[in-house]
Amino acid sequence: MTDAHHLFSTYSSCVDNLKVEIADGTLSPVASKGSIHISESITLNPVLHVPNLSCNLLSISQLTKKSNCSDLSLGKTIGSAKEREGLYYFNKTDVLGQCPPTVCNYASYPKDNELLLWHKRMGHPSFQYLKHLLLSLCSNKTLLDFQCEVCELAKHHWASFPKSKYKPLIPFTLIHSGLWGPSRTPNRTHKKWFITFIDDHTRLCWVYLLTNKTEVRSIFMNFHSMIQTQFHTKIQTLRTDNGTEYF
Ligand SMILES: [Zn+2]
């Protein structure tokens, strides 16, 4: 992908309304597709002309797959680029005449994908640990380059709940309720669920076992009646997780 219109040797306007997402998250329209000669032996095709790009981007995997650029039969080098901070920079005297350095993306290098795959298969161990096991996949890499989205998210802390000013001073002002289940193994009476009612003031907890979720309504009605008849009071607030079983 490039923003430099003048580099193209063939150029056809793009009818597909293609858009690419650039680094700031916005979508940029693709103006056209074409081919670019970057050296005597390498022609890139297709190259997208994206006017909003601020540098040229080249996918190494795309290059090796689509362009017939790795001359394996002769074994000779047909191009070189220096790696700096995870990107390859072509020397501007080598290719593209006087244009700015071409930046190549190496994120889809097969060994990186394989290392990430093993990281996932083995239950997300640290990359330092993986290096001991899979040294061949880690060579020439700074392990800090690897980032696993799942690991990043798993290390996030939950934001704490704000402290509530409300303090119930008498029983049954506030009842917390939650339903749990189904358990894989039913108990001896074939129950797979339980529901709890916890009084916020006394912390007393009532637990009822259920065969089916649909019993929540009748169990709550019984609990509600029990509070009225046995304690001569009423539940003022029932707090739940808004689960549909309470509707
Ligand atoms: Zn991970």
pLDDT, tens digit, 9 for 90 and up, residues 42-81: 788 888 888 888 778 887 777 766 655 555 555 556 666 7
Q: Measured in angstroms, how far is the CA atom of residue 135 from the centroid of ligand 1?
A: 18
> Where is average pLDDT lowest: 48-62, 79-93, 148-162, 178-192?
79-93
Q: Is residue 187 part of a domain?
A: yes
**Can you give the residue range of the structural domain that contains 59?**
5-105
Q: Are residues 86 and 10 in the same domain?
A: yes
Query: Three-state SS for 232?
Result: coil
Q: Are residues 178 and 126 in the same domain?
A: no
pLDDT of residue 200: 92
Q: Is residue 120 part of a domain?
A: yes
pLDDT, tens digit, 9 for 90 and up, residues 85-132: 667 776 654 444 433 434 444 444 566 677 888 888 888 888 788 888
Q: Are residues 125 and 212 in the same domain?
A: no
Q: Measured in angstroms, how far is the CA atom of residue 149 from the centroid of ligand 1?
A: 7
The last residue of a domain, from among 154, 189, 217? 154
Instruction: Using the structure block, give the residue that is written with the tokens 């046995």.
Output: 230
Q: Measured in angstroms, how far is the CA atom of residue 75 from the centroid of ligand 1?
A: 38
pLDDT of residue 103: 43
Q: Is residue 163 part of a domain?
A: no
User: Which of 19-28's residues contact partners 24+ apart within 8 Å by CB, and which partners?
Assistant: 20/48, 20/50, 22/50, 22/52, 22/53, 26/52, 28/52, 28/53
Q: Measured in angstroms, how far is the CA atom of residue 114 from the centroid of ligand 1?
A: 13
Q: Is residue 139 part of a domain?
A: yes
d(CA 206, CA 213): 17
Q: Is residue 162 part of a domain?
A: no
Q: Measured in angstroms, how far is the CA atom of residue 119 from the centroid of ligand 1?
A: 6
Q: Is residue 167 part of a domain?
A: no
Q: Measured in angstroms, how far is the CA atom of residue 153 from the centroid of ligand 1?
A: 9
